Amino acid sequence: MIKLIALVKKKRSMTVGEFRDYWINVHAPLARKIPGMRGYRINVAGAPGDMTPAPYDGTAEIWFDDRAAMEAGLSSPENDVAGGDVVNFTDDLVFLVCEDEAVIIDQCAAEIAA
């Protein structure tokens, strides 16, 4: 599994609610059409509480079986449409290409407890 992870800054002119609404209800249906995509997860940042605010307002995870599937999806007309839409709700977008590594949480907790 390979993931394309986007670090996203919302348009300064948008509220967090407007940003979330546009991303989920307008952009996501466009992105869903990218061929070969196995999963798409949107993570909108919440209030950081006592932590330092992050430099990004959210992340997106786009999953593909492998690099070839990712490259095919990203070179598709459907991706051109979705990619063209990002200017409508973002001021900055950075992509990371990541290999997915499974970490079994229950196993980790058992090792810590031992």
Domain at 85, CATH number:
3.30.70.100
Separation between Cα atoms, residue 21 and residue 12, nearest integer Å = 15
How many separate domains does the chain show? 1
Average pLDDT over residues 21-34: 96
Average pLDDT over residues 75-98: 96
pTM of the model: 0.83
User: Count of H helices and E strands in the chain?
Assistant: 5, 4
- Terminal alpha carbon distance of the chain: 31
pLDDT tens readout for residues 37-66: 999 999 999 887 888 888 999 999 999 999
Q: Which residues constitute the domain of residue 13?
A: 2-113
Q: What are phi and psi of 97, to 5 degrees?
A: -100, 120
